[in-house]
Amino acid sequence: MFTGNLGLTNNADGRLELIAGWDNDGALHDVWQTAPNDGWSNWASLAGHDLQGTVALARHADGRLIAFTLGSDRQLYIRSQNVPNDGWGAWEGLGGQGIKGFGVNQNTDGRLEVVAVWSDGALHDVWQTAPNGSWSGWASLEGHDLQGTVALGRYSDGRLIAFAVGGDKQMYIRSQNRPNDGWGAWSGLGGQDLQGPVLVANNADGRLEVYARVGGIVIYHQWQTVTGGWSAWRSLGGQGVRDFAVSENADGRLEVVAVWTDGVLHDVWQTSPNGGWSGWASLEGHDLQGTVALGSNADGRLIAFAVGGDQKVYSRSQTAPNNGWGAWTSLGAPPFIVRPD
């Protein structure tokens, strides 16, 4: 059975790589393009035992991919490529206590940083002490009664910013004081009945935009204004949104894909960079589960991934950058080894 979410990013050579977890063997598995913009490999196991399905995939400053996931002990585990575009090293534990959710981003000096909501309802962070290097211990960023959904974005000036939903179902943010440095105070962005996932993206002009579900049904978004403040929350609509993802077209326009309760993938997009939004359109698909990812091929074409009711992963790419979409193709699923009882 598929669990959790999909982790997606580009290798240093432009080839996309996807990681996912299934509870059949409690391991992560990956699949990758055999050449940029081209076909896909078979699934391979990244091993690990009794891992949870929450995953993320990022890149070290030297180009090596790094996978993040939670164990059944609700601690954070990582595994990195040995060299860019190549095989993987061993798993390493970063600790944590009762982690509910986490987000990953890169500082301007190349050091990766993770923020995570612990079972104490506070946000904590851990960071590389040098680019491509070892990791610090965890530090508290405080916060009270935070839910288990968090995102980590980056301002146009390079400062990281954390977004988290509080127990009052409103959005809260905390930003670095300076790039690569300590953190300022929490502030609120409001909202009503917000639920995860929380996603953040940069507009073409650098202004941040944050997205969340309201009532688990529709997507709302909020963005930085040209004066540096934040807009009011505004609805993007949707019908019973199960999961959604956001990415940037080659021309700078943001696009959102979402799996609705009808089991079909839908998309909505900015009609111009930094501008307003279209209405929703159907990308078809049948009996899709509530898990989706969105990224870019090396040539700029967006590509969406979703899990079907048959537990297989499916993908669909734009036919040209900034353009319409081709047909669905199956990436299959791993050949599972049944774990002993």
Higher pLDDT, 22 or 279: 279
Q: pLDDT tens for residues 43-55?
A: 999 987 788 878 9
DSSP codes of every residue in 271-288: SSTTS-B---EE---SSE
User: What's the CA angle centered on 45, arms 50 and 79, to 5 degrees?
Assistant: 75
Structural domain spans, the chain: 1-95
* 10 beta partners: 16
Q: CA dist 306 to 42, 102, 191, 328, Å?
A: 17, 21, 28, 10
Mean pLDDT of the chain: 94
Q: Cβ atoms within 10 A of the Cβ of 46, count?
A: 18
pLDDT over threshold 60, residue 337: no
Q: Which residues fall within 8 angstroms of residue 204, CB to CB, at 6 or more apart? A: 248, 252, 253, 273, 274
* Cα distance between residue 79 and residue 14, in whole Å: 20
User: Do residues 103 and 114 touch, judged by C-beta distance below 8 A?
Assistant: yes
Q: Which of 14-28, 72-86, 314-328 shows the lowest per-residue confidence on average (mean pLDDT)?
A: 14-28
Identify the pLDDT of residue 340: 36
Identify the pLDDT of residue 341: 32
Identify the pLDDT of residue 22: 78
Can you tell me the mean pLDDT for 110-135? 97
